Amino acid sequence: MNSLLDLIFRLDCWLLLAPLLPGLINKVKAWVAGRRGPPVLQLYYDLARLWKKGVVMSTLASPAFVILPAVTWVALLGAAMLMPLGPLGASLSFRGDALLMLYLLALGRFCTAWAAMETGSAFEGMGAVREVSYAVLAEAAMIAAVLALCLQSGTISLVTMLAPAMGASAALLAVGLFIVLLAENCRVPFDDPNTHLELTMIHEVMVLDHSGPPLAVILHGASMKLLLFAVLLVQAVVPMGQLKPLAAAGVLAGGVLSVTVGVGLVESLLARFAFRRVPLLLTTAFLLCLFALLVAWEGGPS
C-alpha cells in the first residue's frame, strides 16, 4: 500500500507540477519587460481547452501522426520516473538506469521528428533536421555529464550518482547542463517558443500541424522534460545525500525554482543566436561537461 501511495505521489509531482514551470518563465519575462503577463497557470488552461477540441490531420499523415506524440509522452514520463526526487529517491532504481534515461529521451526526440515528417510539410521537415542536428552535440554533452557523475560516484545508478557532491567540477557541470537544458527544451538562445516565423523555428515548427489532444500531450510532455532537466541539474550540483530529508526537499524545490527563474532571465536578456553560432555554444557545453569528466577522472570515486 505504501509503495502504491509513493508511486501516486511521484506521478502527481511530475504530471501536476510540470506545467507550472513554463508559466513561471513567462511571468519572469513579463516582469523584466515591465508587463503583467499571462497567469502562471496559463498552460493548465491551455491543456484543458485543447483536450476539448478535435484533431485535424493532413491527408498525407498516417495514424502514426497521432500515436507518436503519445509514445513521446510515455518515454518522457518513463525517464522522469527514473529520476530521483531528492530524499524520496526514485520509484524505480537499478544498475544502469542512467543509460535507460538517456535512451528514453532520445526515443522521445525521434518520435517527435518522425511525427513532423508525417505531414509532408517542407517547414516541418526543416525543423526536424535542425532538431536532430542540434541533438548530436546536446546528447554528447549529456553523455559526458552522466559519465562525470558515474566516475565521481563509482556507479551508473541515478540514485547513487546524484547523492554525493561533484566537488571542483560542480561549477563546470552546472554551466554545461544549463546550456543543454536550454537546447533540449528549445529555449532562447537556441529557439524561441513564442515565434511564428517558420523559417527560423526549430521545435515549434515540428508541432505546427498538431491540434487538439495530441498537441496537449506534446505541450505537457515539453513541460515535463523541462522539469526533468531542472531536477537533474540541481541534484547533479547539490550534494543531496549529505542533507536531511526535509532540508533536501527544500533545497530541491528552491533549486528548481532558481533554474526556472534563470531560464526566464536568459530569455529576457539574450536574443536568439544565429544558426551558425548555435553549434559553437553547444560545443562549449560539451567541453564544459568534458572538463568536469576529466576532473572526476583524476579525483576518482569519492
Per domain, the residue ranges of the chain are: 41-299
The model carries a pTM of 0.95
Q: What is the pLDDT of residue 302?
A: 47
In the prediction, which pLDDT does 166 show?
66
| pLDDT tens track for 16-60 | 999 999 999 999 999 999 999 999 999 999 999 999 999 998 888
Question: What's the confidence (pLDDT) of residue 266?
Answer: 95
Average pLDDT taken over every residue of the chain: 91
> How far, in Å, CA of 187 to CA of 286, rounded?
18
pLDDT of residue 3: 77
CA distance 237 to 177: 10
Question: What's the CA gap between 17 and 33, in Å, rounded?
Answer: 25
Statement: residue 244 has pLDDT above 90: no
In contact, 225 and 49? CB cutoff 8 Å: no
pLDDT tens sequence across 160-177: 998 876 677 889 999 999
- Contact predicate 146/98, CB 8 Å: yes
